Amino acid sequence: MAAAPVLLWFRQDLRLADHRALSAAVATERPIIPVYILDDETPGAWRMGGASRWWLHKSLEALGADLEGLGSRLMLRRGASRDVITALMEETRADSVYVSRSYEPWARRLETEIADHLDSKGRTFRRFAGGLLFEPEVPKTKAGDPFKVFTPYYKACLALGPPKPPLPRPKSSLSAPANWPRSEDLDGWGLLPRNPDWADGFCETWEPGEAGAEVRLQRFLDGAMAGYSDKRNRPDIEGTSRLSPHLHFGDISPHRCWQAVEERLAADGQGAKGGRSFLRELVWREFSYHLLFHWPHLPEKAFRPEFEAFPWDENAAALKAWQQGQTGYPIVDAGMRELWQTGWMHNRVRMITASFLIKHLLIPWQAGEDWFWDTLVDADLANNSASWQWVAGSGADAAPYFRVFNPILQGKKFDPKGAYVRRYAPELSKLPDDYLHAPWEAPEAALSAAGITLGKDYPEPMVDHGKARQRALQAYDVIKKR
Ligand code: FAD
């Protein structure tokens, strides 16, 4: 009798290189049935957002083609993961499931449920590491607790020794089952936006999938890495790697990124400062996962409970102006429009726009988190929730609430020539540099020479920075006294 196949369940690990579950499945010498399940039921409120769905479609296309190159196929099924796995095991007579770990609270519950279910039936469920450099249970304080502060966490990670080197992609064809089960049609899943205009900017900006991730990595190593520590805060230039969506979907593993940087530093030592600072940012990603793992309510509830009583001002019209990049603050508007057009926003501008929403408009951070969840191609439950809480001041190792970003000074400092604002708010492009980050300060003559009537071609500022700052600090006083 033919050996029972192994179900290889892909989730946020849409690659063939450095894939521990895949390598282990190959080592069994049994037929392998790769499957991806579109599960909109189990994640509840955290089902994938619109921009992520676009990425998923493209990345699955790429993975399917790569698997075909190895004589295999990617089976696509939609439904509750547990039901789909059970049905597929029946259909294919597979007796084991191999999967890479996921760390979202709902995904962890699901893994335990499926593991128990399969165990009760005498079947095998094997989970493999791969999406993180350090498993979230491993770094511990001296007292054996999880970390709440980044720097000691970072040091503890480094003390664990270098991350495991990445595994190679399988060299020979994958063993195929005698009969392939039925697969659904990717186009039929409706993952691409109904409004094709939305996806146009994504297509111009990104190449989802493993090959695209490798191109991004090489481009970073050859380009931005050397100046990363100085330029990573500049949205007007390509100063960062833009690997975040690839890392989120697992088009590439963090181990591969780590190793590539280390190898480059060992070969020519150039850009050591930039390379090390990039590796540190990779560990910030790990820290977000560490926090989410140990505090699973992080996406919904303030880490610091006193923030639950914060006197927010839930203003739907103000939220909409922010979402649409119509606040009247150029750096904020440019960021929100970059997000809409490309599905990504520079980290510095994420901080500025998030701070504006929370502190200038007093809108709850969860409303911003939701918008980012729907519009970012790198929307990531751990990074998004930890970062929003960081900006709000309600997080573990957070920026203090009373530090209110001044969007004019931030713009002048990090977009000094205004190239970023001019790219995403072209109606301001003719305004001289001196007024670009505060158009309302421009003399009438400068505005009219630039073809701008404030309130018509570009909004008046929706709040006054000084007054908004005062209001934010007064609101903060309410919870400070608790
Ligand atoms: P690089 O600077 O090249 O860094 C390399 C990698 O390190 C990134 O790809 C990312 O995986 C990780 N990284 C870098 N900065 C951070 C950080 N501050 N926190 C955690 N990991 C980091 N990142 C997401 O991946 N998904 C999100 O949903 C997300 N939401 C955010 C929301 C807010 C309000 C803020 C302030 C930040 C958010 N970030 C999020 C973190 C950060 O902005 C992005 O990871 C970064 O901009 C991605 O660009 P890059 O790949 O060029 O980063």
Q: For residue 34, what are the β-bridge partners?
A: 8
Q: How far, in Å, is the centroid of ligand 1 from the Cα of 182? A: 38
Q: What is the pLDDT of residues 431-454, one digit of tens each?
A: 999 999 999 999 999 999 999 999
Nearest Cα neighbor of 72 from 146, 176, 200 is 176
Whether the pLDDT of residue 481 is over 80: the answer is: no
pLDDT confidence bin for 196, thresholds 50/70/90: confident
Q: What is the pLDDT of residues 5-19, one digit of tens each?
A: 999 999 999 999 999
Long-range Cβ contacts of 317-321 (<8 Å, 24+ apart): 318/361, 318/363, 318/462, 319/357, 319/361, 319/363, 319/367, 319/371, 321/459, 321/462
Q: What is the mean pLDDT of residues 187-204?
A: 92
For the CA of 245, the nearest atom of ligand 1:
25
Protein residue whose Cα sits closest to atom 47 of ligand 1? 347
Q: What is the mean pLDDT of residues 215-226?
A: 97
pLDDT at 139: 97
Active site amino acids: 281, 284, 312, 347, 365, 388
Instruction: Put residue 399 in one of left, alpha, beta given phi > 0 → left and psi -120 to 50 → alpha.
Output: beta
Sheet holding 75-78, edge to edge: 75-78, 32-38, 6-10, 96-100, 124-128
The percentage of the chain sitting over the pLDDT mark of 70, rounded to a whole number, equals: 100
Looking at per-residue confidence, does 399 or 320 come out higher?
A: 320
Protein residue whose Cα sits closest to atom 49 of ligand 1? 242
End-to-end Cα distance, the chain: 69
Angle between helices 330-342 and 316-323 (to 10 degrees): 70
Whether the pLDDT of residue 482 is over 70: the answer is: no
Q: What is the mean pLDDT of residues 417-438?
A: 98
pLDDT at 397: 84
Q: What is the DSSP letter of 262?
A: H
pLDDT, averaged across the chain: 96
Dist CA 121 CA 7 (whole Å): 16
For the CA of 373, the nearest atom of ligand 1:
28
The percentage of the chain sitting over the pLDDT mark of 90, rounded to a whole number, equals: 95
Q: What is the mean pLDDT of residues 249-261?
A: 98
pLDDT at 275: 96
Q: Is the CB of 83 under 6 A from ligand 1?
A: no
Q: What is the pLDDT of residues 364-402, one digit of tens each?
A: 999 999 999 999 999 999 999 999 999 999 998 878 888
Q: What is the pLDDT of residues 78-116, one digit of tens each?
A: 999 999 999 999 999 999 999 999 999 999 999 999 999
DSSP secondary structure, 371-384, as one string: HHHHH-TT--HHHH
Q: How far, in Å, is the centroid of ligand 1 from the Cα of 376? A: 11
Mutate-to-test residue for ligand 1 from 281, 291, 380, highest number of ligand atoms within 8 A of CB: 281
Q: What is the pLDDT of residues 351-362, one digit of tens each?
A: 999 999 999 999
Whether the pLDDT of residue 1 is over 90: the answer is: no
Q: Model-level pTM?
A: 0.98
* Distances from the Cα of 273 to the Cα of 225, 346, 414, angstroms: 9, 21, 20
Looking at per-residue confidence, does 130 or 417 come out higher?
A: 417
For the CA of 241, the nearest atom of ligand 1:
3
Protein residue whose Cα sits closest to atom 32 of ligand 1? 384
pLDDT confidence bin for 197, thresholds 50/70/90: confident
pLDDT at 133: 98
Q: Is the CB of 127 under 6 A from ligand 1?
A: no
Q: What is the mean pLDDT of residues 407-422?
A: 98
pLDDT at 401: 84
Q: Is the CB of 243 under 6 A from ligand 1?
A: yes
Residue listed under structure tokens 């054996």? 144
Q: How far, in Å, is the centroid of ligand 1 from the Cα of 279? A: 12
Long-range Cβ contacts of 270-273 (<8 Å, 24+ apart): 270/226, 271/225, 271/226, 271/227, 271/228, 273/228, 273/229
Dist CA 383 CA 374 (whole Å): 14
Protein residue whose Cα sits closest to atom 33 of ligand 1? 387
pLDDT at 311: 95
Dist CA 422 CA 236 (whole Å): 10
pLDDT at 304: 94
